[in-house]
Amino acid sequence: IAGITQAPTSQILAAGRRMTLRCTQDMRHNAMYWYRQDLGLGLRLIHYSNTAGTTGKGEVPDGYSVSRANTDDFPLTLASAVPSQTSVYFCASSLYRNTEAFFGQGTRLTVV
Amino acid sequence: AQSVTQLGSHVSVSEGALVLLRCNYSSSVPPYLFWYVQYPNQGLQLLLKYTSAATLVKGINGFEAEFKKSETSFHLTKPSAHMSDAAEYFCAVSEGNTPLVFGKGTRLSVIA
């Protein structure tokens, strides 16, 4: 079934540790995104990529990095996790920037 | 920069009653507008989208939304609420060359 796969589905992480959230899409979409969802704040854009080889910063990029080596994969890395990065992380993709985005099932991350 | 305001973080309706979820947007160019639904512990699913064609947009599950440029609004409605409509609803805007910006969400409760 075509779509977006995120891994892991949930994780408890010690503060200061490095963590990479994985995201893979098989729809050949050009654009990909990482959002975080926090209660009362909705979804906020962390980083995005308009096409393979390019990335851009969103609303809340600090403490996160991304790469887009190919069309399908868009990993999100937390270099040194802090408790404020406890959140649900959603990866999404769209054919172009102004078309509808398709979302993965999310990764629930708890930093302790 | 574009932004979205969803009026009411929580809306409660009786089963069979009209559903009205409010969304106002800010955009410097003609916007692309979207409504998404999120069921518990799931990702976001597209309900409907406005991309400068008909101002009244019909979506899945009996929902529709009307684009009103003069009011900068894109409210979501459904004539008769079902218990299965209970979920979180998000309005989102894109200026065409930018990633989606989401509102903070409205939680819809349906009372039997």
Please write the tens of the pLDDT for every residue from B38-68. 998 889 999 999 987 788 999 999 999 999 9
Q: CB–CB of A6/A93 below 8 Å?
A: no
Neighboring chain B residues of A45 at a CB cutoff of 8 Å: 99-101
pLDDT in tens, A52-84: 999 999 999 999 999 999 999 999 999 999 999
Q: CB–CB of B92/B103 below 8 Å?
A: yes
Token pair recorded at residue A32? 């990909």
Residue pairs spanning A and B at CB distance below 8 A: 54
DSSP state of B60: G
Q: CB–CB of A4/A104 below 8 Å?
A: yes
Distance CA B103, CA B91 (A): 5
Q: Is A84 helix (H, G, I), strand (E, B) or coil?
A: helix
Neighboring chain A residues of B46 at a CB cutoff of 8 Å: 100-102
pLDDT in tens, B17-27: 999 999 999 98
Residue A103 and residue B43: Cβ atoms within 8 Å? yes
Written as tens digits, the pLDDT of chain A (112 aa) is 669 999 999 999 999 999 999 999 999 999 999 999 999 899 999 999 999 999 999 999 999 999 999 999 999 999 999 999 999 999 999 998 778 899 999 999 999 9
